[in-house]
């Protein structure tokens, strides 16, 4: 059951909605409703770099073995692979975050939506480096500092993935979350457990936990800040209304930038 909605301005700075500890349950329902889209999209994000890196390493070793020459990958090659992995992961995370916002907003989603990662890529990259470093350092310092930070930043990734600049996304997230720190810590701790499950299972659990984490961020964006053109918080319907029908159906172009490959080729043109 969602918390009562008290109202919030579009910047998330007044009369703040309480954080909903049931977001994870709602995210699970959203994930299972479109698992056929989320599972392959997340698999590409999580295992794509491993497949590509494995192919490159195998190809170079095979080539040099055929010519009977010993080989060790030079530093520039290793740096190039590392840079590619960073770009690929941020691109895909951005697309997945955009996919989560679209689903929560009620827009129709398709697998190709995940390839909208070029939209706001720079700000998402800065967010991943900045917030990722802080959370990793906090986790290293006996977990609790990471929980404190994550509790204030739950909606921030959904904001930046949907087009907000990194500074505003963090500021709005903190302003919207700071009035309910207790529930924020509960949600953040559970999200960190989902992240840990992904690493412990060598990425396999991420096929489920990553979509849930991103959907929770989108739900927090909806409930604490409000999507463009809509007040914050869930809309309550009479019991006879179809619960699967979205509250507000955004235009299909909302939240989606150009869908392109990493090389810049359009996925939207015939």
Q: How many CB atoms lie within 10 A of CB 42?
A: 24
Q: What percent of the chain has pLDDT over 90?
A: 51
Weakest-pLDDT range from 31-35, 70-74, 250-254: 250-254
* pLDDT level of residue 1 (50, 70, 90 thresholds): very low
Q: Under 8 Å CB-to-CB from 52, ≥6 apart: which residues?
A: 84, 88
Statement: residue 270 has pLDDT above 60: no
The residues facing 266 across adjacent strands are 260
The per-residue pLDDT for 7 is: 36
The per-residue pLDDT for 6 is: 35
Residue 205 burial (C-beta neighbours within 10 Å; 0-12, 13-18, 19+): middle
The per-residue pLDDT for 117 is: 80
| Domain edges within the chain | 23-225
Mean pLDDT of 111-137: 90
Residue 141 burial (C-beta neighbours within 10 Å; 0-12, 13-18, 19+): exposed
The per-residue pLDDT for 234 is: 63
Mean pLDDT of the chain: 80
Q: pLDDT digit string (tens) for 243-269?
A: 444 444 444 444 555 555 555 555 555
**DSSP helix/strand/coil, 28:** helix
pTM: 0.78
* pLDDT level of residue 35 (50, 70, 90 thresholds): very high
């Amino acid at each position: 059951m969602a918390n009562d909605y008290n109202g919030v301005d579009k910047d998330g700075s007044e009369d703040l909605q309480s954080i909903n500890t049931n977001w994870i349950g709602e995210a699970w329902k959203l994930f299972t409703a479109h698992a056929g889209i989320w599972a392959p999209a997340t698999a590409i994000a999580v295992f794509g770099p491993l497949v590509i890196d494995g192919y490159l390493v195998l190809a170079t070793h095979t080539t040099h073995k055929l010519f009977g020459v010993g080989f060790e990958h030079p530093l520039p090659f290793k740096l190039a692979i590392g840079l590619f992995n960073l770009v690929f992961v941020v691109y895909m995370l951005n697309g997945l975050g955009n996919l989560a916002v679209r689903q929560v907003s009620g827009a129709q989603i398709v697998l190709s939506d995940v390839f909208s990662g070029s939209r706001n890529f720079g700000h998402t990259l800065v967010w991943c480096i900045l917030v990722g470093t802080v959370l990793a350092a906090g986790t290293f310092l006996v977990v609790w500092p990471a929980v404190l930070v994550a509790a204030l930043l739950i909606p921030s990734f959904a904001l930046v993935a949907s087009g907000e600049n990194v500074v505003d996304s963090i500021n709005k997230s903190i302003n919207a979350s700071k009035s309910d720190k207790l529930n924020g810590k509960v949600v953040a701790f559970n999200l960190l457990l989902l992240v840990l499950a992904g690493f412990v299972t060598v990425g396999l659990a991420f096929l489920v936990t990553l979509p849930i984490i991103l959907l929770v961020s989108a739900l927090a964006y909806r409930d604490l800040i409000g999507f463009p053109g809509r007040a914050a918080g869930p809309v309550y319907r009479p019991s006879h209304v179809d619960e699967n029908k979205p509250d507000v159906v955004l235009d299909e172009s909302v939240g989606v930038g150009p869908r392109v490959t990493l090389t810049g080729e359009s996925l939207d043109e015939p």
